[in-house]
Amino acid sequence: MSILLTLILIVALIVAGLVFFAANTARKVEATVPPCGQFVAIDGQRLHYIDTGGAGPAVVLIHGLGGTLWHYTYALVDKLSGECRVIAVDRPGSGYSTRPDDVSARLGVQADTLAKFMRALGLKQPLLVGHSLGGALSLAIALDHPDCAGAVALIAPLTQVQEDAPEPFQGLVINSPVMRKIIAWTLAIPMSIRNAPKLLKIVFGPDAVPADFPTRGGGMLGLRPNSFYNTSSDAVAVMEDLPGMMNRYSGLTIPLGMLFAKGDLILDYRMHGEAMKQQCPALDLVLLDGHGHMLPLTAPDATADLIRHVAARQLERRATIG
């Protein structure tokens, strides 16, 4: 056997081993954290969501990059479900929601899908709650689908164009879909397992990472090849629509509220919070001390208070309009 053939065989065995490890890890993850909600088909995509609470106003919770609806079920849903109808959804390609590889990850496309999702549930101008990238997506829905956004509560949101991705997400910026798929099925899962403690410390910091985040917070669901591929697709596509959206913020007339922590290590409150306050003077901006980026999990009371405040403004506006 030639040296070249031997090397090819060795590489093939290594790749096969990595693919097996990725697939086996995904099976174990899904056995540990199975779906917790129900499913609906929207344009060839299968969206996973929960729908709970009373007959009060509808609140739709949209998570951020690499997240899942478990970020909301961890603590926030229980604080709202006694007074609202609460819907939390896995964004297309996240959690247990699917997104075919040929469907764009652009904010505008995801906004179209979620607007159809809300119409399918019979929701009329619900209050949208968007965390991080979910904040940008909520704004995209409000701008392009006003019938699906009666008010918006933004939690540590991405609102402005920035040159570089936050440090924990820089490794996700893989422009080639082919390379993205190769990495997703080979190196991504073992590297994610190795780097998780360091990266989560930044994502949550200065708050402590909850010990049960991998299970109760859905963190383990990121350890699947398809999750890595779709999260990378989101990271690459996010800036395509954001510049145009920024030019339209001043035209938003619905109630808007925002909660940001000054200690956020992912998104700077001055760049994404105070800057949008200048673009939308009617925005109610609340700043917190002593917290980081993952406010739905680490500051659920403050997050719920912000949502209640925006909901009250929405009711006042409806009463005024009649």
Question: Which residues partner with 292 through β-bridges?
Answer: none
Distance CA 33, CA 48 (A): 13
> Which three-class secondary structure state does DSSP give residue 50?
strand
The pLDDT of residue 153: 98
Q: What confidence score (pLDDT) does residue 1 get?
A: 58
Report the distance separating Cα 277 and Cα 238, nearest Å: 21
Which long-range contacts (C-beta less than 8 Å, at least 24 apart) are formed by 178-181? 180/229, 180/232, 180/233, 181/101, 181/229
**E strand or H helix at 240, and its extent?**
helix 225-246
DSSP 152-176: EEEES---S--SS--GGGGGG----
Other Cβ atoms within 10 Å of 207 Cβ, number: 20
pLDDT at 273: 97
β-bridge mates for residue 88, sequence order: 50, 61
* pTM (2 d.p.): 0.95
CB atoms near residue 243 (< 10 Å)? 10
State the pLDDT at residue 12. Answer: 83
59: β partners? 86, 127
Q: What is the pLDDT of residue 316?
A: 87
At 13 the pLDDT is 87
Residues 142, 322: contact at Cβ < 8 Å?
A: no
Query: CA distances (Å), 5 to each of 9, 17, 142, 182, in order?
Result: 6, 18, 57, 22
Structure tokens at 165: 């991705």
* The pLDDT of residue 136: 98
Domain boundaries, the chain: 3-321
Residue 88 has φ and ψ, to the nearest 5°, of -115, 135
* Residue 322 confidence (pLDDT): 59
- Distance of alpha carbon 238 from alpha carbon 221, whole angstroms: 21
CATH number for region 3-321: 3.40.50.1820
**Residues in Cβ contact with 50 at an 8 Å cutoff, skipping those fewer than 6 apart:** 36, 37, 38, 69, 73, 77, 86, 87, 88
Q: What is the pLDDT along the chain (322 residues), one digit of tens a residue?
A: 588 787 888 888 888 999 999 999 999 999 999 999 999 999 999 999 999 987 789 999 999 999 999 999 999 999 999 899 999 999 999 999 999 999 999 999 999 999 999 999 999 999 999 999 999 999 999 999 999 999 999 999 999 999 888 888 889 999 999 999 999 999 999 999 999 999 999 999 999 999 999 999 999 999 999 999 999 999 999 999 999 999 999 999 999 999 999 999 999 999 999 999 999 988 999 999 989 999 999 999 999 999 999 999 998 887 787 5
Helix H segments across 169-224? Answer: 177-184, 188-204
Query: What confidence score (pLDDT) does residue 78 get?
Result: 95
